[in-house]
Amino acid sequence: MAGVPDIVGCFNGKFIAIEVKVPGNKPTEIQKHTIEKIRMAGGITGVAHSKEEAVDIVCGEGRN
């Protein structure tokens, strides 16, 4: 479905959704909207351009 992040799951009881992008690429408008809705609902979410960024999102550092 359009806009759904690439990685979704649950970690320590929290919903996690990560949009994975090649360095230099940005999320589409619908992806940005979905990420914001997840964040507003209390989920952990963001855009990762590397595995390090994905870990930062899950660990609560440098959310983007």
Q: What is the pTM of this model?
A: 0.86
Alpha helix locations (H) across the chain? Answer: 29-40, 51-59
Position 54 pLDDT exceeds 90: yes
Residue 45 CB coordination number (10 Å): 24
pLDDT 10s digits, 8-44:
999 889 999 999 999 999 999 999 999 999 999 999 9
End-to-end, the C-alpha distance of the chain in Å comes to 22
C-alpha distances out from residue 14 to 8, 24, 32, 49, Å: 11, 28, 20, 22
